[in-house]
Structure 1
Amino acid sequence: MNCMTLKLIPLALAVASGLIVSASEGAAAILRTGFDSATLGANDDGSSMAVDIGFETNFFGRTNNQLYVNNNGNVTFESALNTFTPFDLTATGRQIIAPFFADVDTRNYGSSVTYGRGAVGGYDAFGVNWSDVGFFGGTEGRATNSFQLVLIDRSATGLGNFDIEFNYGNIGWEAGTFSGGDSNGLGGDSARAGFSNGTGEAGTYYEIAGSAVNGAFVDGSVTALASSSNIGEPGRYLFSARNGAVGTAEITAPVPIPAAGWLLIAGLGGLAAMRRRNTRH
């Protein structure tokens, strides 16, 4: 009996008690509203049918106007994907965009996966919301994750141009039990985040630093997805696809300055302004 078959057997017993992490109220502060006209029913390892994006994307030279929403934290273009243990995005033969590729189970916790068209800043967009989703092997009251993928039409700058946005609320787990995670969803073959066009050619794939590293993406880590960024906006990663190429410059979000530090900076700024005024003639 293989792992996939075993996963389809309902859990007969609750896992041993451990750390209880509740879904974070207002966890979706960084997540954009909307993109919820369709719902992927509660499931484990399921996918949508092919869904219209609403605009054309040029993804490393591959043109797409449809995609599959996969429960396990990713979208694919050629066919649905039910793989639950994340594979190396830098060596895959699949076209995939994955804000959080791990073993998502939405049959408990009040979880939901919704998707649909919308707009960002006046531009057409398509988004997927993984809201308070649990992990396979978890039980009610265990950690949940909230994250989002948004594709934004930028065809005004060139046919097929678009942006990829990863948005993160709370990230409380990183792996299901069939991926080696413990009863709290930690350890094992932990989540990966990034994308690939499936050719294996240099420059056509990318993983966010911390992918497959135990604990790296979880809240409280110095590299937690909900507090890191490549654009200086904690909880948000943005990648621009222009003429088929996708930019991957990564800039760590600035370390927050304590209140006392801001007071010092403000004081120094005031002194500098006074000096400028006093030296004018």
Structure 2
Amino acid sequence: MRLSPEYLLVFISVLSLSRVTKAQTAPDIFYPFGSVAGDTVNISIEDENSTLIDVWRPFVFFGRTYNKTYVNSNGHLTFNQPSSEFFVNYFPINGSEDIIAPLWTDVDVSMNGIISYQQYSSGSVLTQATQDINRYFPDLSFTASWVLVATWDRVAYFYHSGTETSFQVVLISGGDLSFILMNYGDCAVASNVVQAGYDTVNSTAYFVIPGSNNGNDIPNLMNSSNVNVPGRWAFRVDGGPDQNLQENIIGVQIRVTSFLDLTESGKIETALVKLRQVLINSGVQSSVKLNLRKIQKIQP
């Protein structure tokens, strides 16, 4: 007897992102920057400048090791060549460049704001980085040996005078392990194309911070997180697993033609592939893995 269409409750294990709502002043989470930290200031005219930094320690980014990086005015870092691109290609680009983009958009510091950077191989900043990474990735027993801090302090968006947006990216390495922190302060609504996250060569790994490709949602970055610290996103980027993402059980209600659609060999795999793509398109990291735990019939 063929079953009529049914609703099935499918419990799936997903590496999920945490959201936080606890109030906190986001600039408090910034690593030291500016004149107090002895930063080098990147003086640029609109979007035409990129600063080459010869890093003091190798930085591993998804299997590729770099000894230099470019701090580009428009809110992103590249490794092989500078970039003056202000029109954002949304991740995944499937391109030939590794990109770290704390907030990639059309920045214009000729109106207001400063872009600065500093790298460290000793001192209190390394201590702070070591403590942060061990808090977010507690199974690694990590010790930072090098840190690069790049800060966009109260920068303006091109053609929109009076806008002020502050954000920061922190590159951290120790041995073969590499991490990035993205910190957000007060951010103005962006009328220009914008996004935050990272992408790799051929987009074998990429991530878009949820909501960051919607200019109206940019002010919410200072309250979002994947490590329960408002305004901060942390990622392990050497190519190993993301230890800070907790495994959770979520319920997904879907309509199928029959119960056999999720029990016959091959059909469940197809369903999971489609669901995984929907999650990635919604901002979940591309390394997300889905596992079927249980199928339960419920009444329509």
Contact 1:77 1:95 in 2 (8 A): yes
Is 2:181 the counterpart of 1:165? yes
Q: Does 1:29 align with 2:28?
A: yes
**So what's the TM-score if we normalise by structure 1?**
0.65
The Cα offsets for residues 50-105 of structure 1, whole Å up to 9 and x where unpaired, read as: 21222112211111121000000010001011111211121241210000001110
CA distance in 2, matches of 1:41, 1:87: 25
What residue ranges of structure 2 are gaps of 5+ in the alignment? 1-24, 131-143, 247-300
* Secondary structure of the structure 1 residue equivalent to 2:28: helix
Question: Which residue, out of 38, 41, 49, partners 1:39?
Answer: 41
Unaligned runs of 5+ in 1: 1-25, 175-180, 182-187, 219-223, 252-281
- Kept in 1, the 8 Å contact 2:44–2:73? The answer is no
What is the one-letter code of the residue matched to 2:210?
Answer: A
Distance 1:246 1:101, change over 3 A: farther
Provide closer, same or farther for how the CA distance between residues 74 and 232 of structure 1 changes in structure 2, counting only shifts above 3 A. Answer: same
CA separation of 1:246/1:117 partners in 2, compared to 1, >3 Å: closer, same or farther? farther
Cα drift, residue 248 of structure 1: 8.6
What residue number does 1:195 align with? 198
Q: Give aligned pairs, total.
A: 198
Following TM superposition, the consecutive aligned residue runs of length 4 or more in structure 1 with deviations greater than 3 angstroms are 248-251
CA contact (8 A) 2:26 2:222 kept: no
Q: Could you tell me how far 1:198 is from its partner in structure 2?
A: 2.0
Distance of aligned partners of 1:248 and 1:145 in 2 relative to their CA distance in 1, 3 Å threshold: farther
Higher relative contact order (CA 8 A, sep 6+): 2
Measure the CA separation in 2 of the matches of 1:164 and 1:232. Answer: 16
For residues 226 and 217 of structure 1, the distance between their equivalents in structure 2, rounded to whole angstroms, comes to 8
Q: Distance in 1 between matches of 2:240 and 2:72?
A: 24
1:130 and 1:248, CA in 2 relative to 1: closer, same or farther beyond 3 A? farther
2:242 matched to 1:247? yes
Q: Is the 8 A contact 1:54 1:126 kept in 2?
A: no
User: Helix, strand or coil: the match of 1:82?
Assistant: coil
* CA gap 1:147/1:36 in 2 versus in 1, 3 angstroms: farther
Equivalent residues in 2 for 1:73-112, closer than 5 Å: 73-93=75-95, 94-109=97-112, 111-112=113-114
Residues 39 and 169 (structure 1 numbering): CA distance in 2 closer, same or farther, change over 3 Å?
same
TM-score (norm 2): 0.61
Higher strand share: 2
In the alignment, is residue 52 of structure 1 matched against residue 58 of structure 2?
Answer: no
Aligned residues of 1:103 and 1:135 also touching (Cα < 8 A): yes
Asked if structure 2 preserves the Cα contact closer than 8 Å seen for 1:97 and 1:194, the reply is yes
Give the match's secondary structure for 1:212.
coil
Looking at structure 1, the residues matched to 244 and 211 of structure 2 have their Cα atoms a distance apart, in angstroms, of 15
1:151 alignment counterpart: 171
CA distance in 2, matches of 1:205, 1:248: 16
More helix by share: 2
Aligned sequence identity (%):
28
Give the counterpart letter for 2:82 in structure 1: A
Q: Deviations over 1:139-174 (max 9, x none)?
A: 2xx22101000001222xxx2x11100011110132
Superposition RMSD on alpha carbons, in Å? 2.1
